[in-house]
Amino acid sequence: AQSVTQPDARVTVSEGASLQLRCKYSYFGTPYLFWYVQYPRQGLQLLLKYYPGDPVVQGVNGFEAEFSKSNSSFHLRKASVHWSDWAVYFCAVSMNMGYKLTFGTGTSLLVDP
Amino acid sequence: GGIITQTPKFLIGQEGQKLTLKCQQNFNHDTMYWYRQDSGKGLRLIYYSITENDLQKGDLSEGYDASREKKSSFSLTVTSAQKNEMAVFLCASSRTGVQDTQYFGPGTRLLVL
């Protein structure tokens, strides 16, 4: 069965610093991977998605993620964090491009001013 | 563009009570989803529907019923609320399957006394 692990429940970074949020997936096949963001009191919004191809995927607001089959990972990165990035970030995986997404437990990002 | 509306925003119930949550979307999307979000557990799929009058069970369907009587609306019923239960229920829609972006509503916050 597919699964996603986000090992860091909370990450704190200073504004302007770089960011990496970790995501590990478990699936014996070709995964389709997603990062969603949930701002306070809002629904989730898609940041970026990976389909088999270029391992580095660009998303909105300067976010990017890199797929690594050897490490079973899909880490999210940003070069310079802004205070408005304060949110909860969810990694998700789908198998076979059906209808079901499996979400990780989320990583809360706190930004120090 | 479009929007997903969830009602009510907050729901307080009593143990054993049947509670109904409603979701409306004006994207004209075929597929709609109900997720449950618990602190520290991420999102878990309860039910989804790929077209009007269709229902598919997710990973957490026990204790819930769902109804998709119109393309634009998707209801979820908690059949018997559990004491001290506290969760956020998120509705989402997408044009078809996971290859299309899922758009999320702001959520209904449930508290059972």
Q: Are the beta carbons of B25 and B8 closer than 8 angstroms?
A: no
B1 touching A (Cβ < 8 Å): no
The CATH number covering residue B100 comes to 2.60.40.10
The CATH number covering residue A56 comes to 2.60.40.10
**Interface touch B98/A104, C-beta < 8 Å:** no
Domains in chain A, number: 1
**Interface touch B31/A42, C-beta < 8 Å:** no
pLDDT digits 0-9 by tens, B26-81: 999 999 999 999 987 889 999 999 999 999 999 999 999 999 989 999 999 999 99
**Interface touch B4/A101, C-beta < 8 Å:** no
**Interface touch B48/A100, C-beta < 8 Å:** yes
User: Could you tell me how many residues make up chain B?
Assistant: 113
Distance of CA A89 to the CA centre of its chain: 6
Domain around A24? 3-112
Written as one string, the DSSP assignment of A17-80 is S-EEE--EEE-SS-EEEEEEEE-TTS-EEEEEEE-SS-SEEE-GGG-EEEEETTTTEEEEEESS
Q: Select from A89, A57, A70, A60 the least CA-distant residue to A25.
A: A70
- Rg (C-alpha) for chain A, rounded Å, is 13
Domain around B91? 4-112
The answer to whether residue A99 scores a pLDDT higher than 90 is no
pLDDT digits 0-9 by tens, A10-38: 999 999 999 999 999 987 777 899 999 99
Contacts of A43 in chain B (CB under 8 A): 4, 90, 92, 103-107
Q: Using CB atoms, which residue from A9, A44, A98 is nearest to B97?
A: A98
pLDDT digits 0-9 by tens, B3-17: 999 999 999 999 999
pLDDT digits 0-9 by tens, A33-91: 999 999 988 889 999 999 888 999 999 999 999 999 999 999 999 999 999 999 999 99
Mean pLDDT of chain B: 94
